């Protein structure tokens, strides 16, 4: 039997060790929130920059948005967050399409666009009524719809992406520039197509130079235009320069004075952007916006050229989900059928 003193000493030693253990635990304990942060910081996926890509999902052409998203997602390892903009009536359809297809893996947010912001700002034009659809003007309101990102990519729905979207996102914007676009005179390979279908690629094709307000801008009518179907935007500069308010001002002036040219019939959303961004935009690599695929049902690019292109744009009347149109096989590579069966491709044998 141990003497009483020895038992007391052992108990005291155990007590001291217990107290030391508790104190050590308190000093070195990491709060749960910090522990989680530490895990996130060590996770490369959480460290990766998020690339916001804005695409509209309009009634009657949702298959276009789906093909565009599919092509982007399939050709990149980047951390892409898709902002899918729709009207209240179309949002349930696109959400269901994504959630019930292989696109259910993507990161996306559906944002409702309120067409009331356009009230009194759009002049009716019978030549291309589809260009007056409210979602055609979403690009004017990017900072209001996408609030937590400084840099944003906006894409028209009638595109497919064959390159890594990270490359487009890395487009450098010069100091003081709120956006980057592709010039319409920038790529010799497209000039033959432009000539063959009689398109204009200057300000003369979009603005009515018979109007004093247009002449007062001091912009030469032969100035090369740009295409706002692909935009890399700096939202900080956009807000600082009040770009949205400037665009709205020219929309309202057009309602009152009919300032846009009707020769192209495609200048409803482009024309105010040409005015507001004149001389104040950066350039996108021309291979990141190969366009005019929708301007003719039979004018085609060479297959080799199209294979090298990073992004294809069927701007014009002849869309790849309709018939007739060109290079539909490249677009269909990325199309995902509508699980609800509402959206169907128009084909000669359908």
The whole-number pLDDT of residue 1 equals 46
Q: What is the pLDDT of residue 200?
A: 72
Own/partner contacts of 208-215, CB < 8 Å, gap of 24 or more, are: 208/258, 208/259, 208/260, 208/261, 211/257, 211/258, 211/259, 213/253, 213/257, 213/259, 214/259
Q: Given a cut of 70, is residue 157 above it in pLDDT? A: yes
Section 144-169 average pLDDT: 97
HEC-encoded secondary structure of 75-106: CCCCEEEEEEEECCCCHHHHHHHHHCCHHHHC
* Chain segment 253-303, per-residue pLDDT in tens: 999 999 987 655 456 899 999 999 999 999 999 999 999 999 889 888 999
The pLDDT of 67-85, averaged and rounded, is: 98
Asked if 98 and 70 touch (Cβ cutoff 8 Å), the reply is no
- Max CA-CA distance within the chain? 115
Domains assigned to the chain: 51-188+226-253+267-333 (3.90.550.10)
Q: 10 Å Cβ neighbour count for 10?
A: 11
**Could you tell me the pLDDT band of residue 337, with boundaries at 50, 70 and 90?**
very high
Structure-token pair, residue 174: 């010069």
Higher pLDDT, 12 or 316: 316
Q: Which residue has the higher pLDDT, 43 or 202?
A: 202
Mean pLDDT of 214-231: 95
Q: How many CB atoms lie within 10 A of CB 69?
A: 28
pLDDT at 105: 96
The yes-or-no verdict on residue 149 having pLDDT over 60 is yes
Mean pLDDT to the nearest integer, 180-204: 75
Is residue 72 scored above 60 in pLDDT? yes
Over residues 93-118, the pLDDT tens digits come to 999 999 999 999 999 999 999 999 99
DSSP string, 38-50: HHHHH-HHHHSPE
pLDDT of residue 38: 32
Mean pLDDT of the chain, nearest integer: 87
Top-confidence residue, 2 or 7 = 7
14-46 per-position pLDDT tens digit? 777 776 666 655 545 433 333 333 333 445 445
Q: Is the pTM of this model over 0.95?
A: no
Residue 2: per-residue pLDDT: 46
Closest CA to 280 of 248, 240, 307, 314: 240
């Amino acid at each position: 039997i141990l003497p009483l003193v020895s038992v007391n000493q052992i108990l005291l030693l155990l007590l001291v060790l217990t107290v030391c253990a508790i104190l050590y635990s308190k000093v070195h304990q990491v709060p749960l929130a910090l522990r989680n942060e530490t895990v996130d910081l060590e996770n490369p996926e959480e460290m990766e920059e998020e690339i916001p890509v804005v695409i509209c999902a309009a009634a009657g052409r949702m298959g276009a948005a789906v093909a565009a998203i599919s092509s982007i997602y399939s050709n990149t390892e980047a951390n892409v967050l898709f902002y899918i903009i729709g009207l209240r009536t179309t949002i349930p359809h696109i959400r269901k399409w994504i959630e019930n297809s292989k696109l259910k893996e993507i990161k996306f947010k559906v944002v409702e666009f309120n067409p009331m912001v356009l009230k009194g700002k759009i002049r009716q034009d019978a030549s291309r009524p589809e260009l007056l659809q409210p979602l055609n003007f979403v690009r004017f309101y990017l900072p209001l719809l996408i609030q937590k990102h400084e840099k944003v990519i906006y894409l028209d729905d009638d595109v497919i992406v064959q390159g890594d979207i990270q490359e487009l996102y890395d487009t450098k914007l010069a100091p003081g520039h709120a956006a980057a676009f592709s010039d319409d005179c920038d790529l010799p390979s497209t000039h033959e197509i432009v000539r063959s279908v009689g398109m204009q690629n200057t300000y003369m094709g979009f603005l009515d130079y018979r109007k004093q307000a247009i002449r007062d801008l001091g912009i030469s009518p032969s100035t090369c235009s740009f295409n706002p179907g692909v935009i890399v935007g700096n939202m900080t500069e956009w807000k600082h320069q009040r770009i949205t308010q400037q665009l709205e001002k020219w929309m309202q002036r057009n309602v009152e004075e009919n300032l846009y040219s009707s020769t192209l019939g495609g200048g409803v959303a482009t024309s105010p952007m040409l005015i507001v961004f004149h001389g104040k935009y950066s350039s996108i690599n021309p291979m990141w916006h190969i366009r005019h695929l929708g301007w003719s049902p039979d004018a085609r690019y060479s297959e080799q050229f199209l294979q090298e292109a990073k992004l294809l744009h069927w701007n014009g009347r002849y869309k790849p989900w309709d018939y007739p149109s060109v290079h539909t096989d490249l677009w269909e590579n990325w199309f995902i059928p509508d699980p609800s069966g509402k959206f169907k491709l128009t084909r000669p044998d359908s």
